[in-house]
Every structure is written in structure tokens, then in C-alpha cells.
Amino acid sequence: MKLTGAEIVVACLKEQEVDTVFGYPGGTILNVYDALYKHSDEIRHILTSHEQGAAHAADGYARATGKVGVCLATSGPGATNLVTGIATAYMDSVPMVAITCNVNLPLLGKDSFQEVDIAGVTMPITKHGYIVKDVSILADTIRKAFAIARSGRPGPVLVDITKDVTAAQFEYQEKKPEALPVKKKYEEEDIEKAVALMKEAKKPYIYVGGGAVISGAYQEVRKLSGLLDAPVCDTLMAKGVMDGHSDYYTGMIGMHGTKTSNFGVSECDLLVALGARFSDRVVGNASAFAKNAKVLHIDIDAAEINKNIHSDAFVVGDLKEVLTKINEKLPEQEHPEWIAHIKELKEKYPLSYDHSVLSCPYIMEEIDKATEGKAIITTDVGQHQMWAAQYYKYSEPRTFLSSGGLGTMGYGLGACIGAKCGRPEKICINIGGDGCFRMNMNELATASRYQIPIIQVVINNHVLGMVRQWQTLFYEKRYSQTVLDDGVDFCMVAKGLGCEAFRVTTKEEFDEAIRKAIELKKPVVLDCMIGEDDKVFPMVPAGAPISEAFDASDMEA
């Protein structure tokens, strides 16, 4: 049957079983929005307050569900407003398709009104980008975009369509989604070498990255830790792969990782890296990282092997598939002395904070209790992000959504809305600092418009907390442009945007407020006042070995 290009876009979204899209209309994409109007009973459109919010919402939807997130924008500034969200998804390997429309084909390249080469702009931050100038290739291009976004190491794909293509007609035939052909990247001897290294190890440590979430390998990782009798640390992206209550779990590694993880990895004789990329925030001083260990690296992306840290052995392939094979071949190992040593480190170096006042660690522990550890937690970026990673006990993957690679302030609220749209059965809570919250707090209007019952917790210390922490420790307390004590009333703002709001100044007030927020089942803001000089510990100075992690007690000493 003959359809317009705009109708083909919608038909292809239905082929891919897309149920929710996030976006903002404009002149060049009007035909697509007209087609969406006719299919509003099949595809839910969430009108965000800003295109960046749409990109973050699509990202949050994708991370929470494992499906491809979709965002839409018009040409020019609409398209460029997606860029930060696309880059955020790219850095954290999130499957997303961003559909933009551009000026008519004859106007391309002539500096036309609201024209921008968005495919060129986003080339470095997408897995692939298309500009569609011919309606005959539109359907296949959109299909390829979804296949590329979800295949291998996932990531965002951009499809830019000229407006005249959305109006032109072409014969459309429905097709079922097809996966891209996957070539087996590893040989059986790679598996054998990995198993041999594990059998030789006396002090093995498992380091888990976001690839374990993406591949759905959390059960395989947990099984491996038992078979190998090895402690497990994780990155920000891997929260929930290991149950936070497990005896084998030692917490996060890196700049704000636990002393147990940082010291343990520094002492181990085999480091098994699973779906991780050895980020600088994990590794610190690369020349001193895990210097006593052989490194076994398993990752789907061959480009990550030996990129930041040299591997003694590696397996390039899907983590779930590779670990299934390893777990079949690996006999049960025992390392009682090593495990006892790690247990001693955990007892000697627990995470700690001042229990006498309201603080973010306390808030995270109370949220954990109030939600029985089953909520989806999204975060912005800064101190609160680290506290949210440290003090909430994640027991399943896809329940901690945060901008790890790009570190995008303002990410969390849009992502929380997207997560709630994708997983409506879950309590979804965004943890944001006051600096981050003011960047994209306009998305409260989105939550209010659709009555999406998310909870926004503002960790309000009236400063840019993480930057201030660095200024305190390394810049002799020169607080250049980090004080935010300007009289902004977030509760009034929230109520003005149609949400409930509560100001919290004590532990008792927070306990009552979080339970009330959960019961209300509507968008709620909790404005929580904490000390301006609260610090995230442990900490590793930039470029230092992770074995030099220090905390407040070390500073006092």
C-alpha cells in the first residue's frame, strides 16, 4: 500500500514494537506529528518541556527496559538540543534512535531557516547517522537504524529526514525486525586460556562494568563469582549486576570506590574485567593499576581490548554467551585465605557518615528501606550521584540509571520520566543536586502534564557540591562560582509546575516525606537541606593510584 513518508515512519515504529516516544514538534517534522496523531492509540507520545529532556527520557526508557528508546525533534535548534542527550547515550552504550526532520531537499546547504547539518554535528557521538533524501529508502533506513542501535555494543543512531520526503508517497510493505548478522569473534582457545588463568589464580578479583547489564549477564556473573570464589567490585554502570547484599560484593571501584575494592584490586593476582572499559575514573594512575595482577578482559567491543590497560588474555564476544561457556568449563575454586582477607578489609573500612544530621547517605539508606530496595534510582551528576551509588543496595540490574561516561548534569529528571514510562510498576526516584536540578527542572511540567508519579529528591546544599569538594581539598578553599545560595525556592517552583512539594530539614521530616511521596502516586519534589561541606569519601585524587584512596579519618590523621 502507498503511504506518505511520515506514515512510513510511524509504520516502522510500530514494526519495531515502539510503544512510547519522547519529543517536541516543529515546522519540518509536522507531517510526522500529523501521522502520530492518527496512531495515538498505538504509540504514546510524551511532549517534554525541552528537546534535551526528550533525549534523556528516551535514554532512561532504554536503560530501564532494555529496549530501544526513541526521541523526535524538528530541524535546527530542535535537533541541536538533542545533542547532549545523544552524547550521553553514546558514552554509556544506550540503544536510542533519534529521528529529526530537516528542510526540503532543494533548500539543503543554503543556510535556510532552521537548517543545520545534524548528521554532521552528531557524527562523533552516534554509532551511525543517516540523512534520508529519497522516500524509497526511508523504511529500510529506519529498520537499519534500530538494528544498529541494539546490536553488538549498543548506542544511539540518528535518522534525519528532509521534509519533502515525509510528504512524498511510496509503496510500503511491512517487515519483521531483523537482527544484524553477528560474527563469532572468539575462538575456543580464548575460552580455554581464560579458564586456565582462573584455575591458576590464588587471589582473583572480578571487576564488572556496564556491559554486564547490557548483555543481561547478571546471573552468569553471580555464578562465576561463586565458582571462582572471588570478590566482586563494580563500576557506576554495573550497579545491580551483583546483589548489593552479597558477601562477595565489595562495592564500587575507582575515584569514589570503597577502600576494600580499591585495595583488593591493587593486591589481587588476577583481575577479571567483565564488560568494562577501564575508565580513567576507575583506573586512576594506569601504570599502577592492578600492578600485581594478570588481566583477563572479556568485552563485546574489540576496540576496548588493550586500549587503556594491557590484557594478558582476552575474549571478544557477548558477555552472557562467553560466561556461560566459562562457567561450564570452570571447576569450583576455593580461596579461603583471600576471601578472609577481603572480609577483614570490609570490616576495617566500611562506608561511614555523620548519623547526627540529615545527609545524602542517610537519605539513600532511608529510600532503600522505604522502597525495600526495589525502586529505579536515577541520578544527576556530582556528590549525590556517588552517594546514591554507595548507600542504596541495588539487587537487580537496570535499577540505577546515571550518566557515567559524559557526566551530564540535568540528566536524571528526564531519565526518571522515561524509566517510569517504560516500567510503570516500579517506584522511580531521581536524586539530584540543587545545581543539577535547576538545569532541567522544567521537566517537572512534563511529569505534571501526564501525571507521571516520579519522585524528585533535591539534595540541596546551596553549592555545586563536587566542585566545592575539589576546591576545598585542592584549591585552598577558593570557592569560585560554586555558591548557589540565591533564594530560589524549589518547593514554590515545583508547585508552580503542578507538582506536590515538601521541604525537609531533619531526618525525621525525611522519613515522613518519602513515605508520603510514595503513597501520593503523583509527581512530588522533596527539597532536602544538607550541609554545604558534606564530602564524598573515600576519594582518590585525579591521576593517583587507587591504592591511595583516603577518607575523612585519613585527613584527620
Q: Which residues pair with 337 in a beta bridge?
A: none
Catalytic entry in 38, 113, 175, 187: 113
Catalytic entry in 466, 469, 490, 529: 466
How many helices (H) and strands (E) the chain has is answered by 24, 20
Contact 14, 39 (CB under 8 A): yes
Cell numbers that stand for 442 in this block = 522544567
Locate all alpha helices (DSSP H) within 229-330, ordered by sequence: 259-267, 280-283, 319-329
Catalytic entry in 14, 114, 170, 219: 114
Answer yes or no: 113 catalytic: yes
Catalytic entry in 51, 220, 267, 366: 51
Answer yes or no: 512 catalytic: no
The upper half-sphere exposure of residue 96, i.e. CA atoms within 13 Å in the direction of its Cβ, equals 36
Catalytic entry in 16, 96, 163, 469: 163
Answer yes or no: 163 catalytic: yes
CA distances from 312 to 204, 233, 316 (A): 14, 20, 13
401 DSSP assignment: E
Rounded Cα distance between 184 and 180, Å, is 13
Q: Give the distance from CA 504 to its chain's centroid.
A: 28
As a residue count, the chain comes to 557
Contact 212, 275 (CB under 8 A): yes
Answer yes or no: 51 catalytic: yes
**DSSP string covering 207-242, please?**
EE-THHHHTT-HHHHHHHHHHHT--EEE-GGGTTSS
Beta strands in 373-523 (DSSP E): 376-379, 400-401, 428-433, 455-460, 500-504
The catalytic residues are 51, 113-114, 163, 466
